[in-house]
């Protein structure tokens, strides 16, 4: 039984605030009907330029702004889209790994604004049922998991969905493909190019497309190079710490490892610490690459070879796709091309 969110009544203390002028106040002041005012603003019908001018002037004078709530009700669109993620907020309520999500958020906010939309950030609700009082015209999910409760939630609510990164098992949901398979191939091939014969992979255990495809890519890579696979599935909470201890074990038990592919940047940071601890120089005796080229990869020592996922472009496409989804019905699925950024962590010659 869903709680529909308690309604708290009309704002207490509303009477003591000055009432904002409404369209009929303006109409009265201008000596015309509300219809005329509406048309003067929307331009959907012609109004006498002189009248229109007077209305405009009065509007400025009175400080009139059309109520977007009324407009939303009438038009059925709130002008707000949401960005939701089931994971990163939760693991990073603190400042740890906001990078990926927040880079998307910032870009999406700008893309949204240029289309006269606002972007809402919605963290995963602890008791994931009533998502606030606001209503969204659509929602963008970032890297949802298989059977993600968020997907169910918004589907049931008939809110248009666009996923950033495909939804595992749900090819019907429109998505911006993050090209995780290609990304992983890029990174693994790079390691091979750098001469790594034995490569381990640190991959997130959650059933997200990026992790699934990374694992697949790694499997194929191992087969292609007739290499014994060392696939380490890691929990994404407390990523750096668990990566650290697992990699330390690995390096100590298996001296042959020459390269590590970390599908999450925090894994890579953990791996660096482990390598240091195990006395393996990077990139001297161990090469390391990661997927997301965020602040972490850039500021790491040594800087991490990573992939430019073109997140601003991804966000832009997601917003566009969502908009299509909302009022058109274009099911068109779009894609994007990742790009390798080589840095010291994997190069033969130190910068």
**Cα(203)–Cα(214) distance, integer angstroms:** 7
CA dihedral sign, ordered 237, 239, 242, 247: positive
For residue 208, the tally of other CB atoms under 10 A from its CB is 26
Classify residue 301 as exposed, middle or buried by CB count within 10 Å of its CB (0-12, 13-18, 19+): exposed
Residue selected from 34, 62, 72, 220 as contacting its own copies according to rule CB under 8 A: 72
Query: What is the x/- site pattern for DNA, positions 113-152, by CB under 7 A?
Result: ----------------------------------------
3-state secondary structure 101-128: HHHHHHHHHHHHHHCCCEEEEECCCCCC
Distance CA(104)–CA(65), nearest Å, equals 31
66 binds its own copies per the rule CB under 8 A: yes
Residue 46 contacts its own copies per CB under 8 A: no
CA distance 124 to 119: 16
Instruction: Give the nearest distance from C-beta 43 to its own copies in angstroms.
Output: 7
Contacting residue, 326, 340, 341, 342, with its own copies by CB under 8 A: 326
In the complex, least distance from residue 25 CB atom to DNA, rounded to whole angstroms: 7
120 interface partner picked from DNA, its own copies, none, CB below 5 to 8 A per type: its own copies
35 is in the binding site of which of DNA, its own copies, none (Cβ under 5 to 8 A by kind)? Answer: DNA
Q: Is 2 in the site for its own copies (CB under 8 A)?
A: yes
Q: Choose the contact partner of 152 out of DNA, its own copies, none; CB within 5 to 8 A by kind.
A: none
> By the 8 A CB rule, do 321 and 315 touch?
no
92 binds, among DNA, its own copies, none (CB under 5 to 8 A by kind): its own copies
Q: What span, in angstroms and rounded, lies between the C-alpha atoms of 294 and 101?
A: 11
> Of 278-307, which residues contact DNA (CB under 7 A)?
none
**Strand, helix or coil at 260?**
strand
The option from DNA, its own copies, none interacting with 24 (CB < 5 to 8 A, set by class) reads DNA
Closer to DNA at the Cβ: 33 or 331? 33
Nearest to 265 by CA among 231, 291, 288: 291
CA 68, CA 75: separation in Å to the nearest integer?
10
Binding site for DNA (CB under 7 A): 7, 9-10, 19-20, 22-24, 27, 31-39, 41-42, 44-48, 51, 64-67, 69-71, 73-76
């Amino acid at each position: 039984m869903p709680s529909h969110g308690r309604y708290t009544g009309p704002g207490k203390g509303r009477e003591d605030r000055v009432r904002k002028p409404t369209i009929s106040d303006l109409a009265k002041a201008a000596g015309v009907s509300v219809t005329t005012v509406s048309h003067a603003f929307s331009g959907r019908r012609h109004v006498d330029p002189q009248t229109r001018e007077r209305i405009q002037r009065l509007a400025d004078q009175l400080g009139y702004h059309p109520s977007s709530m009324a407009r939303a009700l009438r038009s059925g669109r709130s002008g707000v889209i949401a960005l939701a993620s089931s994971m990163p907020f939760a693991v990073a309520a603190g400042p740890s790994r906001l990078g990926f999500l927040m880079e998307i958020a910032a870009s999406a906010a700008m893309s949204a604004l240029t289309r006269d939309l606002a972007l809402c950030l919605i963290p995963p609700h602890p008791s994931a049922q009533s998502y606030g009082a606001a209503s969204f015209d659509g929602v963008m999910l970032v890297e949802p998991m298989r059977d993600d409760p968020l997907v169910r939630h918004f589907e049931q609510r008939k809110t248009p969905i666009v996923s950033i990164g495909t939804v595992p098992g749900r090819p019907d949901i429109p998505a911006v493909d993050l090209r995780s398979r290609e990304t992983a191939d890029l990174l693994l091939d790079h390691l091979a190019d750098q001469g790594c014969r034995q490569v381990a992979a640190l991959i997130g255990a959650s059933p997200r497309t990026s992790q699934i495809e990374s694992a697949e890519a790694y499997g194929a890579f191992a087969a292609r190079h007739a290499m014994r696979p060392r696939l380490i599935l890691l929990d994404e909470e407390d990523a750096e710490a668990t990566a650290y201890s697992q990699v330390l074990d690995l390096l100590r038990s298996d001296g042959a490892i020459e390269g590590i592919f970390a599908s999450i940047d925090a894994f890579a940071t953990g791996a660096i610490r482990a390598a240091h601890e195990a006395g393996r120089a990077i990139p001297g005796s161990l090469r390391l690459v990661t997927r997301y080229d965020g602040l972490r990869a850039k500021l790491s020592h040594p800087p991490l070879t990573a992939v430019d996922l073109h997140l601003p472009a991804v966000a832009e496409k997601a917003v566009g796709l969502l908009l299509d989804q909302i009022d058109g019905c274009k099911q068109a699925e779009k894609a994007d091309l990742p790009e390798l950024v080589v840095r010291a962590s994997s190069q033969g010659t130190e910068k």
